[in-house]
Amino acid sequence: MTPITSTLDLDALRSFVVGIECGSFAQAAARLHRSTSAVSVHVKKLEQQCQAQLVKKQGRHLVLTPSGERLMGYAKRLLAVNDEALMSLRGALLQGSVQLGLQEDFGESFIPPVLGQFAKAHGGVQVTAHIARNQVLTQATESGEMDLALIWCQQPPHNAFTPLKRLPLRWISTPDFPLSDYLQRGEPVPLVMFDSPCLFRKCATDALDAAGIAWRVAFVSQSLGGIWAAVNAGLGITVRSAIGVPDSLTSTLSAQLPALPSMGIGLIQRQPKPSEVVEQLKQLLLLELERQL
């Protein structure tokens, strides 16, 4: 058996994975806080180590070659083990607590596994998660009751803010919702919404008003679960992003209704320079959100 004399470079693997996730070296460089040339050099180094072409250009985007596809799974596993090891070693020294605020969209989807991973690696840290609306989360962070909050936003709030991404909004209903009937008869389109103030509600009503389409709020809920239940029951349509939408609902109404704007996602924090405990959780959240969104 021929001995393996080369060890894959983890920094090069990270540039490779992020480059494919972003679709370009330039976007990967921005995410990794490196120069575009440094990311490109990393990938070329990895190709030399593997003795195979791993990526190629397809139009303006990077895509995997067959060899790159084989490496990708290994690369993600190696990076995950590396990150877990570092987190565990650093976590052994961390002590303290973090108050984290979340919108329901995030608290019911991919954030709980992240908190479980953090708790496992940082046994000395107590994390308390709070599910609340945007206004409550922003006020609680500004007053010092919460250390971090993951929020929807159209404009950055006044306190320390890290913008992440903007997601397109969608009209959401049951597949058989009779929207055409309402539009043909000129009847107000029934909406299922949170009570005001709500960014999603404002986006929906502003778009309908601009298009000259009559509307009425048919169901008001205090929870996202209540909104999904009401839409599932056929009481009306709603507006959200694609995050956490139940499989029983659809967003095929867009051809009959006006276009919607995108919605920003960001992290607000209590202090411009948070404690090491808060910073560790923040970086883990940022990493996971970049992967998921």
Domain ranges, ordered by start, for the chain: 8-88, 94-166+263-290, 169-259
Residues with Cβ within 8 Å of 176's Cβ and at least 6 positions away in sequence, in order, are 234
Residue with tokens 């067959």: 66
Overall fold of domain 94-166+263-290: D-Maltodextrin-Binding Protein; domain 2 (3.40.190)
Q: Structure pTM?
A: 0.67
Q: pLDDT tens across 181-237, in order?
A: 999 999 999 999 999 889 999 999 999 999 999 999 999 998 999 999 999 999 999
For 71-79, what is the mean pLDDT?
89
Give the pLDDT band (50/70/90) at residue 93: low
Q: Is the pLDDT of residue 100 over 80?
A: yes
Helix (H, G, I), strand (E, B) or coil at 64: strand
Specify the pLDDT at position 92: 53
- In angstroms, the CA 110 to CA 154 distance is 22
For 164-189, what is the mean pLDDT?
92
Name the burial class of residue 66, with classes exposed (0-12), middle (13-18) and buried (19+) by CB atoms within 10 angstroms of its CB. exposed
- Burial per residue of 199-211, b for 16 or more beta-carbon CB atoms within 10 angstroms, e otherwise: bbbebbbebbeee
Q: Is the pLDDT of residue 4 over 70?
A: no
Q: Judge if 94-166+263-290 and 169-259 fold alike in CATH terms.
A: yes
The superfamily (CATH) of domain 169-259 is: Periplasmic binding protein-like II (3.40.190.10)
CATH of 8-88, one of 3.20.10.10, 3.30.420.10, 1.10.10.10, 1.25.40.20: 1.10.10.10
Q: Is the pLDDT of residue 134 over 70?
A: yes
Q: Is the pLDDT of residue 241 over 70?
A: yes
Q: How far, CA to CA in Å, does 3 sit from each of 6, 7, 178, 266?
A: 9, 12, 67, 48
- Burial per residue of 159-195, b for 16 or more beta-carbon CB atoms within 10 angstroms, e otherwise: ebbbebebbebbbbbbeebebeebeeeeeebbbbbbe
Q: pLDDT tens across 262-277, in order?
A: 998 888 888 777 788 8
Question: What rounded mean pLDDT belongs to the chain?
Answer: 86
For 278-292, what is the mean pLDDT?
79
For 13-23, what is the mean pLDDT?
88
